[in-house]
């Protein structure tokens, strides 16, 4: 039997949407007396440190690095290139890292490896060394359920061997889950190489004994019941200051928010990866002028120092708003001045918005965001969607109309607050997510 405290080796895929939830989970484990060694790539840690996000002194979390195998000037926004480089470079170096970490504290050796998706190779390394493993899913349990169901979906001829739908239809993954449009599986828009990688990754991930989900049973009961390995431990809200951000947060928007009337501000953010077409960017800018409400708009610094392709349109004033490069999102969403959230519906943003009780205007861009939108609009009923025009653009008129409709809808506001209450109770003492977390820590011992 392990006599020391559980010691977790946490290895996220190095994008903001994976690093952040795994860091939040690490903070939670540390709070419960566990020891955590968190693995960044050398490139990621440099970015996070530059953004001032290295503030973990005094906690039970130690940061270590491995190289991702790419040159400093390589384009890391090419996810597939990054993925395969990491797999070939980090895999061979992980056993030595584990040995070095264990040598530092012989009484508290690594007891469990936790990875996010794409890092399943680390579970194989751990398995060979007799170390248990678990997966943390950075997306919704519904997205995860759809990945788990890939072999069955192919067998039932709902998708082909490349992941493409065989015909236009809606299906249910299980009887108590909402209908899913087969166009909207999380692997939409990716090529066969990536789809094959996902299939392989799901097989490798079987080495993990648990799929930890950043959700609650109340939010996605049908999806959680797909597999006995799914363990909802969310929402992960351990720290409202982002200790793993890749960009410097602009906190001046919080003082600015303090000056605005209650429920008056439109918050606009498309997460850490979405890239907007220049025409669409201009329509959004002009819409924010038209809406005539105060707004905070996150226009992310471009990745890898490329020039930002988006130019503000002629005639854009933006005088009522504040445009920032990167923002302390949880603090903003929980501010009393916020009226609504125009979001790409990435899972981290979705769960943060639900926890803050804020109504959504849904603007999904890729992957799992379409599934998240269907929960927001059709299942929880706490938001509205945007319709594209005949040119595939969401017009300024459509944005203005929907914002006014959303902020005037008292039923949506009431449901948003009701969901907030349900979810906060899930992580409170006696709540199901907290019970599951304690169960997981006991398992790791």
Predicted confidence at residue 237, as pLDDT, reads: 84
How sure is the predictor about 366, in pLDDT bands with cuts at 50, 70 and 90? confident
Give me the sign of the Cα torsion angle 183, 188, 193, 196. negative
Distance CA 22, CA 12 (A): 7
What value does the mean pLDDT take over residues 299-321?
72
How sure is the predictor about 381, in pLDDT bands with cuts at 50, 70 and 90? very high
Name residue, tokens 């501010």.
335
What value does the mean pLDDT take over residues 311-337?
91
229-279: pLDDT as tens digits: 999 999 998 765 556 666 788 889 999 999 999 999 999 999 877 788 899
pTM of the model: 0.93
The answer to whether 192 touches 213, Cβ cutoff 8 Å, is no
Edge to edge, the sheet with strand 112-115 lists 61-66, 35-41, 7-11, 112-115, 132-137, 211-213, 230-232
Predicted confidence at residue 56, as pLDDT, reads: 66
- Average pLDDT of the chain is 92
Whether CATH 3.40.50.2000 fits 252-408: yes
Distance CA 445, CA 265 (A): 46
The domain defined by 7-241+427-444 folds into Rossmann fold (3.40.50)
Predicted confidence at residue 49, as pLDDT, reads: 73
Which residues, including other chains, have CB under 8 Å from residue 107's CB and lie 6 or more apart?
A: 3, 4
Lowest average pLDDT, out of 40-49, 351-360, 421-430, goes to 40-49
Predicted confidence at residue 2, as pLDDT, reads: 47
Domains 7-241+427-444 and 252-408 belong to one CATH topology: yes
Lowest average pLDDT, out of 60-74, 164-178, 239-253, goes to 239-253
Predicted confidence at residue 300, as pLDDT, reads: 81
How sure is the predictor about 96, in pLDDT bands with cuts at 50, 70 and 90? very high
How sure is the predictor about 323, in pLDDT bands with cuts at 50, 70 and 90? very high
Predicted confidence at residue 58, as pLDDT, reads: 60
Residue 305: which region, alpha, beta or left (left: phi > 0; alpha: psi -120 to 50)?
left
**Is pLDDT above 50 for 5?**
yes
**Is pLDDT above 80 for 308?**
no
Predicted confidence at residue 307, as pLDDT, reads: 41
Domain locations in the chain as residue ranges: 7-241+427-444, 252-408
Predicted confidence at residue 262, as pLDDT, reads: 97
Tokens of 400: 């203005």
């Amino acid at each position: 039997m392990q006599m020391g405290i559980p010691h977790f080796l946490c290895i996220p895929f190095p994008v903001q949407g994976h690093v952040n939830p795994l860091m939040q989970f690490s903070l939670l484990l540390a709070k419960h007396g566990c020891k955590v060694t968190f693995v960044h790539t050398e490139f990621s840690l440099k970015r996070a440190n530059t953004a001032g996000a290295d503030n973990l002194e005094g906690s039970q979390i130690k940061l270590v690095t491995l190289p991702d195998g790419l040159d400093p000037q390589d384009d890391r926004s090419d996810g597939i290139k990054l993925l395969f480089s990491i797999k070939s470079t980090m895999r061979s170096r992980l056993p030595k890292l584990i040995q070095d970490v264990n040598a530092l504290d012989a009484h508290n050796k690594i007891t469990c490896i936790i990875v996010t998706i794409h890092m399943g190779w680390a579970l194989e390394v751990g398995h060979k060394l007799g170390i248990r493993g678990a997966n943390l899913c950075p997306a919704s349990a519904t997205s995860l359920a759809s990945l788990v169901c890939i072999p069955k979906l192919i067998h039932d001829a709902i998708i082909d061997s490349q992941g493409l739908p065989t015909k236009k239809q809606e299906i249910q993954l299980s009887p108590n889950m909402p209908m899913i449009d087969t166009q909207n599986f999380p692997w939409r828009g990716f090529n066969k190489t990536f789809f094959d990688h996902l299939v392989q990754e799901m097989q490798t991930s079987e080495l993990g004994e648990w799929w930890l989900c950043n959700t609650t049973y109340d939010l996605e009961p049908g999806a959680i019941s797909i597999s006995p390995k799914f363990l909802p431990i969310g929402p992960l809200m351990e720290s409202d200051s982002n200790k793993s951000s890749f960009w410097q947060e602009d906190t001046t928007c919080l003082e600015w928010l303090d000056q605005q009337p209650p429920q008056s501000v439109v918050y606009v953010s498309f997460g850490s990866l979405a890239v907007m077409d220049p025409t669409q960017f201009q329509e959004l800018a002009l819409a924010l002028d038209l809406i005539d409400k105060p707004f905070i708009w996150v226009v992310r610094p471009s990745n890898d120092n490329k020039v930002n392709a988006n130019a503000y349109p002629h005639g854009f004033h933006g005088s009522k708003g504040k445009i920032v490069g990167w923002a302390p999102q949880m603090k903003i969403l929980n501010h009393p001045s916020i009226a609504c959230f125009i979001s790409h519906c990435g899972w981290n943003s979705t769960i943060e918005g639900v926890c803050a009780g804020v109504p959504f205007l849904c603007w999904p861009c890729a992957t799992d965001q379409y599934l998240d939108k269907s929960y927001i609009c059709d299942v929880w009923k706490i938001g509205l969607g945007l319709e594209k025009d005949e040119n595939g653009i969401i017009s300024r008129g459509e944005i203005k109309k929907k914002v006014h409709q959303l902020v005037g809808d008292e039923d949506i506001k009431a449901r948003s607050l009701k969901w907030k209450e349900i979810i906060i109770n899930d992580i409170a003492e006696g709540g199901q997510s907290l019970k599951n977390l304690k169960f997981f820590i006991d398992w790791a011992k």
